[in-house]
Structure 1
Amino acid sequence: MDYIESKYFSYADPEDPVLKQILIRSIEFISGQPTIFKLYRKYQESPEKWKSFWDGCVQLLGLKINLDLDKLNSIPSSGPTIVVANHPFGVLDGLVLSWIVSQKRTDFKLLVHSLLLRAPETKQNLLPVDFTGDKQALLTNLETRKKAREHLSKGGCIIIFPSGSVSTTTKFYQNKSKAFDPEWKKFTSRLIKQTDPEIIPINFPGANSSFFQFCSHLSPILRSSLLFSEIKRRINSEVPVYIGKSFKYSQLEDKVSNQELADFLRKKTYLLDKRFEDSPPYGFEPE
């Protein structure tokens, strides 16, 4: 089996300036990365102990995923499907969502930031997405959209966090209960209109710590550096999940623009949490 060196088990981008990489890795090292890396190594030592990589992650992290098993049947076991979800925690959302979908099917592709494709166990289930908006990001996203469209045309499943960014409070001084996704991107809407798959909205209640919210407003470097710390905080915790009913874009009475569809999906996802009567405000989106 291939192994990742500890220095690459990081949110530091190899394309970043060296000092920035050192700073990110240093903060990660003192805030949680070694703990998570040890758990990852434990999986790699005996992968046969678990049904899948995702099952191993959930068990090693001690996560208790609280969901309605009847609602799990909303996820089709076959046929073109897109799963959309809010993004309150970071990598944890992707791990849990992959575990949930893997209970019904294995032909799924999770769209994530390209930095997260380093683990060899995940490569068959991941496609890179870049929301930075530069020329290289455009090329990456066009290629990923093509692959996602092809995967759906073959009856596969795509999982995506349309915000492209972890939920964050609008103001640095706000309590974490005010942390929500920023505006959802049109990328998902285009994919849906091109393929008309079954759409499954999934909601994760909760948010990262208030300290993470505060630091997110201070510096993108601090924000990235603390994501391992937030995973560590969730070890041996309960993760509630709400799964919505499936529907198709072609079943909607009104045909809408790409942004209107993205807003509709965001609202539908958040309203799965009964605390909300309407779509919450947009969260802060780091540059």
Structure 2
Amino acid sequence: MTLISKEDFSKATGLCNVPIPGLTSMIMKMMKINRFNNIIRDANNLEGEPFANYLLDTLGVIIEIDESDIANIPTEGAFISIANHPYGAIESLALLSTLAKYRPDTMFMGNFLLKKIPNLSNCIIAVNPFEKVQDSSSISGLKITLKTLKDGFPVAIFPAGEVSSFKLKTRKITDRDWHPVVGKIISKADVPILPVYFHGNNGFLFSLLKTIHPSLQTAKLISELFNKKGHILKIKIGKPILPKEIPANECN
């Protein structure tokens, strides 16, 4: 069984819109997609936190977080975890590992491709970052997210919707502006916001790929997993922010 097929990879990266024969297959090989598929197979039936921990251990990534920050994670009820997206992959695993350990009922809004991985399918609310807000899967993801929060479960979101990249204006590697649907979710859900910050990034050369074509940067995310051995990922979790403390214009 191929977990990430050529068709899925092409759609997830936007390469389906680039009419060059054989391009997807070539990039999948360059970006180590097959190696990733093999690691997922070796995880067998692990799910949730154990699955994330297995991948992080296999990749050699070490999570560093203060116990005082762990205490900021609400022990019950719905909340929205909002995090920056500096790496694109390892922080997603780290967030799953951290939140699911203390709140195993947490759901994660993520790329529809993650839903294709059986080990993650039960905790992913699938969206397509290449679609517009009014498109079907984005609307479906919004409805599922709001229902999940209404039912009392936490939802983790990377509001930028894509990995951080170099901004010429600021001369820094930062997240882009939040996806507009995130403000709607925060406004309508009326639940506490848990701010999460990941230190570091993939580096300037990775960011340059976006200037060539955004699809190249997205495609490179998998191979970026394999150069993080021994990497210490520092995480900061702030105190929950109540909805009434957020100015109305900040949610629109």
The interval holding the TM-score normalised by the smaller chain is: 0.7 to 0.9
**Among 123, 143, 146, the residue aligned to 1:146:** 143
- Give 1:156's aligned amino acid: F
- Give 2:129's aligned amino acid: F
- Give 2:57's aligned amino acid: Q
Of 194-203 and 184-193, more deviation after overlay is shown by 184-193
Could you say what secondary structure the match of 1:112 adopts?
strand
Give the aligned partner of residue 161 of structure 1.
158
- Give 2:79's aligned amino acid: T
Q: Deviations over 1:23-63 (max 9, x none)?
A: 2342231343343333222212x749x96222222222221
User: What is the aligned length?
Assistant: 249
Report the alpha carbon displacement of residue 79 of structure 1 after superposing the two structures with TM: 0.2
Report the alpha carbon displacement of residue 9 of structure 1 after superposing the two structures with TM: 9.6
Task: Say if 2:240 is the partner of 1:246.
Answer: yes
Give the aligned partner of residue 38 of structure 2.
38
Aligned 8 A contact 1:12 1:21 in 2? no
- Give 2:23's aligned amino acid: L
Partners in 2 of 1:78 and 1:88 — Cα distance? 28
Aligned 8 A contact 2:2 2:37 in 1? no
- Give 2:225's aligned amino acid: I
Aligned 8 A contact 2:79 2:149 in 1? yes
Partners in 2 of 1:21 and 1:221 — Cα distance? 16
Partners in 1 of 2:235 and 2:70 — Cα distance? 10
Aligned 8 A contact 1:24 1:222 in 2? no
Partners in 2 of 1:146 and 1:210 — Cα distance? 36
Partners in 2 of 1:24 and 1:236 — Cα distance? 30
Partners in 1 of 2:89 and 2:49 — Cα distance? 20
Give the aligned partner of residue 199 of structure 2.
205
Report the alpha carbon displacement of residue 5 of structure 1 after superposing the two structures with TM: 4.4
- Give 1:121's aligned amino acid: N
Task: Say if 2:251 is the partner of 1:261.
Answer: yes
Could you say what secondary structure the match of 1:163 adopts?
coil
Gaps of 5+ in 1: 263-287
